[in-house]
Structure 1
Amino acid sequence: MSLLNNQSAIGQENKMKLILLTGFLGAGKTTLLKRLLKEYDDTKIGVLMNEFGETSIDGQLIHNEDFDLIELTNGSIFCACLKENFIKGLAEFLNRDLEIVFVESSGVADPSNMDIILETVTKISGAAYHYAGSICIVDALYFLRQFEIIPALEKQLYYANEVIINKTDLQTPEILAEIDQKIGTINPDIKPYHTSFCQVPIRAMVSGLKTKKMALQDSTNTWESRPKTSVLKTKEVLDYEKFNTFIQAIKFSTHRIKGFVQTTQGVFEVSCVNDFAVMNPWHQPIKETEVVFISAVGIRMTSDLLRCWKDSFGDLPIQI
């Protein structure tokens, strides 16, 4: 019996709800998670965050919230590289006094094997989740471009119970209509929310989640399909203008850039999706500059990083 298609008796009796958040790199998963945490601040919550890179950045963005947190880094929870730890993390939450567990997957996650994962969790823990389903966030600005080169995006949409088209303020009505049509061919039961900053009716969306019958497939997440990631670190205080020039140059080699940087104008959170880059003031101290780069050019990422760094900072030492 499939846990996704038919909730077992033990799953129905267990009141711990499990909700999966999917969406490509930078689509807005952490923004939605923060809204979910605020909306359910009267609820006992567990959060499992999956960062594809070896360094946790998103965990720092929500660390002031009151919830139980497990972070899994350096891979996708649906890939063999982290699947065992994902199963252990879910089983651990079942032993805690929680009502809802949110899983923020990595941007390249393919949740096709969620059914097998939940069955394994039940076997090793003796308890089961009420799997409410998944919410997929789509980046209105870059979705059509990304869809052609990232196989996991189609899987995320296929298994979604709700879809949010985010950043609609940055896109034209014509392109939004094309995105709606594309989503409809993959998951015709879905009527996507159109929004910016994931401003959706949270409780109505969550309460409306319903598991549905789906043809299960193998996950495309494998060691071989992993995008190349690099982490840049330095304890130097960096010239703000030079660092901004560096980011503007290297962004064309990446799917995603995120992290924190110490500059001559203070500490900033760095966030970049494809060629859209911003640096937001960060009002908490950091030990060192630490920025994650997820490559759009494969192993060439390292040489591009070193070249762009040298162009902006010369021989200033860094660790990559």
Structure 2
Amino acid sequence: MATPLYLFTGFLGSGKSSVINSLLGHLSDKRVGLILNDFGAITVDSALVKGDGEISATKSLSGGQIFCSCLAGSFVAAVEEMASLNLDAIIVEASGLAKPSPLLEIISNIQRRTNHKVSYSGMICVVDAERYHILSQSLKTIEEQVVFSDWFIINKSDLVDETTIEKVEESIKGLRPLAPIFTTSFGVVDQAMIDLLDSSHAGVDLRQIDGAAYSGWGVHGRPRNCTFLPTYPFEREALEQFLSTVSNHLFRMKGFIPTQGEESLIVDAVGPHVRVSEGKMPPNLEPGVMAIFAANIDALSLIEQAWQNFSNTPFSCVETP
């Protein structure tokens, strides 16, 4: 029997890691392979997915998105390697900047390279209920992710009213009329979603879609990213004020800042929603907060000025090519 391959997409900060963490809680009796893709140089998502007890194999891919030529070959090779491990499922968390137009070609390569030991079982798009309409007006990748997905999880429903949820559903149905749509908060996966995953084990049909319309990134160009790392000690309140100031101007901020010994501060910021928590510094993870932003934003100057406004401690902020 072929191993089902599930792809999870959704824009930066939509809650993909939370959804996958919840899903893994339902799969404790399964052998699962997990492939995590970060757009930036730091593999933050590999440290944010918590289902260690449910994961039999893990692979992290960083520095781009799995549908581009820079990482597509590595992605196919990672799936090919996992196909030999007798897994019950392979779950892929694509970068929030994934542009899945080459999906048909990539899946065809996977099936050819694995001798059809892997079956494509669908793409699940996690949608940020609060930011969907704003982002979809300026970023082609939002619509592209929707068009190529097979079903949808509208997350963060607790942050919006029913009218907003209905508008998001209406927009999705305009692009994918028959696709199932689920609504949740905090990335919680319920049994109905699990049942749908189970029903797609045999695979879904790959649709022929003209990806030419999704060439490029939209009015703001290809997003850029940098890594911000302040030198401890500094006041936690200063960090929180800094994040609240700059996060609204960026697509996403996330990462780990070392403090004392093996401890760290975990940063998770999406728009006005900023969370700083304490935890262990993950081994082998490069320290720092990855910031992803529109190409027309001078994010480095913004970050530098904001940090100096709230703290006089040293810091580094380096853009990733």
TM class, shorter-length: 0.7 to 0.9
| Residue aligned with 1:122, SS | helix
Distance apart, 1:262 and its partner CA: 4.2
Q: Identify the residue that residue 66 of structure 2 maps to in structure 1.
A: 77
Report the secondary structure of 1:119's partner residue.
helix
Q: Would the aligned equivalents of 2:31 and 2:87 in 1 still touch at CA under 8 Å?
A: yes
Residue 211 (1) aligns with residue 208 (2): no
| Contact residue 129 and residue 165 of structure 2 kept, 8 A | yes
Question: Equivalents in 1 of 2:257, 2:116: separation in Å?
Answer: 43
Kept after mapping to 1: 8 A contact 2:234/2:313: no
Distance across 1 between alignment mates of 2:282 and 2:170: 44
Offset at residue 302 of structure 1 (A): 1.5
Partner of 1:196: 185
Match of 2:35 in 1: 48
- The amino acid that maps onto 2:290 is V
For 1:302, the equivalent position in structure 2 comes to 300
RMSD of equivalent CA atoms: 2.4
How far apart are 1:82 and its partner, in Å? Answer: 1.1
What letter corresponds to residue 18 of structure 1 in structure 2?
L
Q: How does 1:1-320 map to 2 (within 5 A)?
A: 14-62=1-49, 65-66=52-53, 67=55, 68-199=57-188, 200-201=190-191, 202-209=193-200, 211-212=204-205, 214-218=207-211, 220=214, 226-262=222-258, 267-282=264-279, 284-285=280-281, 289-296=287-294, 298=296, 300-314=298-312, 316-320=314-318
Give the Cα–Cα distance (whole angstroms) in 1 for the partners of residues 43 and 83 of structure 2.
23
Q: 1:81 to 1:226 in 2, by over 3 A?
A: farther
User: Partners in 1 of 2:148 and 2:287 — Cα distance?
Assistant: 37
Amino acid at match of 1:279: V
**Deviation digits for residues 290-315 of structure 1, max 9, x if unmatched?**
11100135451112111212222236
Q: What SS class does the counterpart of residue 251 from structure 2 fall into? A: strand
Answer yes or no: is the 8 Å Cα contact 1:162–1:205 preserved in 2: no
Report if aligned partners of 1:78, 1:221 keep a CA contact under 8 Å in 2: no
Change (3 A) 1:64 1:185: closer
Q: Return the offset for 1:43.
A: 0.9
- Structure 2 match to 1:5: none
TM-score by length of 1: 0.87
Indicate how the Cα distance of structure 1 residues 53 and 292 shifts in structure 2: closer, same or farther if over 3 A, else same: same
Deviations 1:204-254 (A, max 9, x none): 131243624523233747799531000112442321111111111111220
Change over 3 Å in CA distance of 1:157–1:165 after alignment to 2: same
Distance 1:275 1:77 in 2: 29
Identity across aligned pairs (percent)? Answer: 25
Q: Is contact 1:238–1:262 with CA below 8 Å preserved after alignment?
A: no
**CA distance, structure 2, for counterparts of residue 298 and residue 92 of structure 1:** 39
Aligned residues: 305
Q: CA offset at residue 170 of structure 1?
A: 0.8
CA shift at 1:177, angstroms? 1.1
- Say whether the 8 Å CA contact 1:16–1:130 is kept in structure 2: yes
Give the TM-score normalised by the residue count of structure 2. 0.87
Residues 25 and 51, structure 2, Cα contact 8 Å, conserved in 1 = no
> Which residues of structure 1 form unaligned runs of 5+?
1-13
* More deviation, 29-38/285-294: 285-294
Cα deviation for residue 268 of structure 1 reads: 2.7
Q: Which amino acid aligns with 2:42?
A: T
Distance (Å, rounded) in 1 between the aligned partners of 2:111 and 2:37: 21
